[in-house]
Amino acid sequence: MSAAGARDSRLRIIAAAYDCVARRGFSKTTVEDAARGSGMSRATLYRHFPGGRDEVLAAVVAWENARFFARLYDEVQGAASLQEVMERGLAFAHRDIRDHAVLQRVLETEPDLLLPKLTVEAEGTQRMIAAFLEPYLAGARLAPGIDHHEAADFLARMTLSYISAPGRWDLGDPEQVARLVRAELLGGILPPGVD
C-alpha cells in the first residue's frame, strides 16, 4: 500500500472511531465499531493501529486536536498585532470548546476517560501554540529583557490555562478578553502603550 493509501486508510479509521465516540462515548467504542464504520476489517485496522483500541482512541483525540488548531489558525489569520491574535484566539477557543457537542458530551459523561488523553496531548498542544506565537513575538517590540522564545512558552501555557479554567474572566465577552490579554497575558511582555 502506498503512503497516501495508508494515510487515507488511517484517516477513515480515525473518522469512523470519532463518529462512534460521538454516538456512544469512549467506553463503548470498540475496535469492531471503528473497523465496521470505516469499511475495513479488524485485521486492517490492527495493521494501521497495532495498539488496538487505545491507539485508535488516542489518534482520535490527536486528530480532533489538530482540526481544532486548523480552525484556530483560520480564525487568527490576518491579525494585525500580537494582542489581536491573543484576543481572537482566546475568544475562538472558548466558543469552539463550549459549542463542541462531542467534547462537551464526553466531558460530561466520561471525563475520567478523556482527561488523561488530553493531558498526553497537552505538551504537544503547548508547543504548537508557542510555535505559532513566536513569529508575532519576534516581530513585536518587547519589554527590555524579554526573550521571545520564553514569552511564547509563557503565553502558550497561560492560554491553555485560561481556556480550561478562565476564573473570573468571561471569555465570551470581548471587552473582558481584551482586558485579560492586555493586563495579565501581555502586561509584562510588551512595553506600556504597545499592542
Domains of the chain: 1-59 (1.10.10.60), 78-195 (1.10.357)
* Amino acid at the residue 59: A
3 state DSSP class of 155: helix
- pLDDT of 36 > 60? The answer is yes
Higher pLDDT, 152 or 105: 152
Q: Which residue has the cell 478578553?
A: 177
**Per-residue pLDDT at 119:** 64
Q: Nearest to residue 18, comparing CAs of 38, 4, 3?
A: 38
Spatial contact of 80 and 87, defined as CB atoms under 8 Å apart:
no
The closest of 21, 145, 123, 129 to 82, measured between CA atoms, is 129
62 compared with 107, residue with greater pLDDT: 62
pLDDT confidence band for 61 (50 / 70 / 90): confident
- Cα(7)–Cα(3) distance, rounded to whole angstroms? 6
This prediction has a pTM of 0.78
In 3D, which of 79, 123, 163, 68 has the Cα closest to residue 180?
Answer: 163
